[in-house]
Amino acid sequence: MHTPNIDAMVSRNLELRKNYVQQALSGPSRISYLTGRRPDTTRVHSNSLYFREVAGNFRTLLRYFKYSGY
């Protein structure tokens, strides 16, 4: 797989010192990251909810990658 941007970051030893999340729980924060939407929009407020059952069919970052050939 050709990943020039990721390879460039790794070669420069990028260190991220500040990290921000939408919510303290991993599930809502992960869905927020993958959809680009806040937890109040996805309606995922706990780790036990599946966002497609609760909020609908948002296109995720992973789908963009899949449809782009990654």
Prediction pTM value: 0.60
Tokens 């992960």 belong to residue: 30
Contact 14, 7 (CB under 8 A): no
- Kindly tell me if the per-residue pLDDT of 56 is higher than 70: yes
**Can you give the residue ranges of every domain in the chain?**
23-70
The conformation of residue 9, written as its DSSP 8-state character, comes to H
Amino acid identity of 70? Answer: Y
The number of C-alpha atoms within 13 Å of 21 and in the hemisphere containing its C-beta is 9
Q: What is the pLDDT of residue 66?
A: 92
Which residue type sits at 12? R
Contact 28, 39 (CB under 8 A): yes
Write out pLDDT tens, residues 42-53: 888 888 878 778
